[in-house]
Structure 1
Amino acid sequence: MSKTLVMNFLNEAGKKVGVRVNNVKEDITEAEVKAAMDVIVDKNIFTSTGGDLKSKDSAELTDKNSTELSVK
């Protein structure tokens, strides 16, 4: 099972911008996600078509299960 972290920010234009991180560690904490999002905003790491990311909006962690099917 792989986990994907989606961190949503608001940019200068007030639009939501998502940053996805695949294969995050199993025991990631809310505090670690908040800290990472703070660093992204504070260090101005990413930009978007609507300008720089200005604030945190939301975050979610999703689990992905896949099952290979034999079709040959």
Structure 2
Amino acid sequence: MTFLNEEGARANIILPGVNDNISQQEVSVVMDTIIAGNIFSSTGGDLIAKHSAQITERNVTDLSVR
């Protein structure tokens, strides 16, 4: 999740293990809650607006090297 802070700079919050079925609406509500609750702050001040959100998937393939 990427927010804008009081200085207008971007601030990221990364959450591991997000449910695969999470909706855009759910993410938006969580981001609104973070902003309204003033839960986090950044070097540029409080988080004041939503910028963007994304889900990043990582695949790991073990290789046998014996």
TM-score when scaled to structure 1? 0.86
Q: How many residues align?
A: 66
How many percent of aligned residue pairs carry the same amino acid?
47
Root mean square deviation, CA, Å = 0.9
Greater strand content: 1
Match of 2:50 among 56, 60, 70: 56
TM-score when scaled to structure 2? 0.93
- In 2, Cα distance between the equivalents of 1:18 and 1:71? 37
Q: In structure 2, list runs of 5 or more residues that go unmatched.
A: none
Match of 1:24 among 11, 18, 24: 18
Counterpart mapping for 1:1-40 below 5 A: 7-40=1-34
Cα deviation, residue 70, structure 1? 2.3
Which segments of structure 1 move beyond 3 Å, counting only runs of 4 or more?
none
